Amino acid sequence: MSSVTFDKVVKRYGTNVVVRELNLDVADKEFLVLVGPSGCGKSTSLRMLAGLEEISDGEIRIGDRVVNNVAPKDRDIAMVFQSYALYPHMTVYDNMAFGLKLRKTPKQIIDQRVREAAKSLGIEHLLDRRPRQLSGGQRQRVAVGRAIVREPAVFLMDEPLSNLDAKLRVEARSFISKLHQRLETTFIYVTHDQVEAMTMGSRIAVLNAGDLQQVDTPFNLYHNPRNKFVAGFIGSPAMNFMNATVKQDNGNLLVDTGVFQVTIPARKADPFRSHVGKKVVFGVRPEDIHDAEFQPPGITPSMVEANVDVVEQMGNEMILYLEQGGANFIARTDPRTRARVGGKLGVVMNIDNVHLFDADTELSLSYEAKMKEMPIGKSK
């Protein structure tokens, strides 16, 4: 078994706590992504698992074995770093074989594993080259190959794609996902890029300032964020937020932002009734704001007229930066929109997909209710 368990794991540097009581279970053969902004504790958590950082409190288990005091080389893990960490004076072959040589693995087995890994990664023609003769994408594959030949119980990857250009990053994401499917081994992957997290992970753990915010499938994180931080971090462009008040009018529940009001559909209103008269944070994703002229069918619309500040032509869509009554928000609209900078545009918000958060705790007011309704993407 190559499951991984963080049990109340804490990391302190003096009085500075960078990881606070991390509780996280990673299933055997799972692809789990740790995501969050810089300084959130994701790389530190990975390094504690690898044995490169000491644990201040708590327990880490790989399978059923507690590894707190186990040397890194004896933890049956392999790690791929952001910098690739290749030995410049060694050939690709020797870089990939180095760890096995240290373990005194027989030469025949080393040669077999290196050549099989190189073939699977498409770098068998590069085995005699040195790192300086390789592109960034090729170096990344060598670093992954060096991990593969060890046949570890757990693969750890710390932002391995950060040094690649945009095109190579897309290719590498697909490559690593296919590699996980082929090897059927536990992968734990660290990134600050939520696009990488959403496209690669079977589950995602979102961290912020050392605290675990939510662990769930990409589907649930997007559609049912547990709090305002997760809602704003997952999705690009980020969710729009506005301060608002919940009001009641003739049995209808309204959200008043001070700029516009939206009526919550009756079928979705129950989780918000306890907040009538209270301050909340209203959230709506840019993709749920549409040019009224190209309103998609099947939504519950609420019209707003806004001033157009910026128009970004993306080809398949338009990103509009809008303003109304001092409130700024972003819309992702149909590319046929006739929005022009300096003009006005009627937009509709899809009220079926809006979010409300408690103004003080920043917790979602509908999280628990939605978890019972999620049709797909259930968390493991």
Query: Would you tell me how many other CB atoms lie within 10 Å of the CB of residue 107?
Result: 10
**pLDDT mean by block of 10 residues, the chain; 380 residues:** 92 95 96 95 96 96 95 90 86 93 91 89 91 88 87 90 79 85 92 92 96 96 96 94 94 92 91 94 97 94 95 94 94 95 96 95 91 58
Q: What letter would DSSP give residue 278?
A: S
Residue 377 covered by a domain: no
Residue ranges making up the domain that contains 320: 237-371
pLDDT (0 to 100) of residue 379: 47
366: CATH: 2.40.50.140
pLDDT (0 to 100) of residue 1: 58
Cβ atoms of 49 and 152 closer than 8 Å: no
Kindly state whether residues 75 and 165 are assigned to the same domain. yes
Beta-bridged to residue 342, according to DSSP, are none
Residue 345 covered by a domain: yes
Beta-bridged to residue 262, according to DSSP, are 255
Residue 172 covered by a domain: yes
From CA 155, how far away is CA 169, in angstroms rounded? 19
Kindly state whether residues 67 and 97 are assigned to the same domain. yes
Kindly state whether residues 194 and 243 are assigned to the same domain. no
Where does a domain end: 208, 229, 250?
Answer: 229
pLDDT (0 to 100) of residue 230: 97
Q: Quote the tokens at residue 26.
A: 């990673």
Residue 102 covered by a domain: yes
204: CATH: 3.40.50.300
Query: Would you tell me how many other CB atoms lie within 10 Å of the CB of residue 227?
Result: 19
Kindly state whether residues 21 and 159 are assigned to the same domain. yes
Kindly state whether residues 90 and 74 are assigned to the same domain. yes
pLDDT (0 to 100) of residue 125: 93
**Half-sphere exposure (CA, 13 Å, Cβ side) for 189?**
30
The answer, as to whether pTM is greater than 0.85, is: yes
pLDDT (0 to 100) of residue 378: 47
pLDDT in tens, 288-311: 999 999 999 999 999 999 999 999
pLDDT in tens, 1-45: 589 999 999 999 999 999 999 999 999 999 999 999 999 999 999
Query: Would you tell me how many other CB atoms lie within 10 Å of the CB of residue 217?
Result: 20
Where does a domain end: 229, 259, 287?
Answer: 229
Residue with tokens 């897309």: 170
Residue 380 covered by a domain: no
Kindly state whether residues 242 and 189 are assigned to the same domain. no
Kindly state whether residues 363 and 242 are assigned to the same domain. yes
**Mean pLDDT across the chain:** 91
Where does a domain end: 173, 199, 229?
Answer: 229
From CA 17, how far away is CA 256, in angstroms rounded? 39
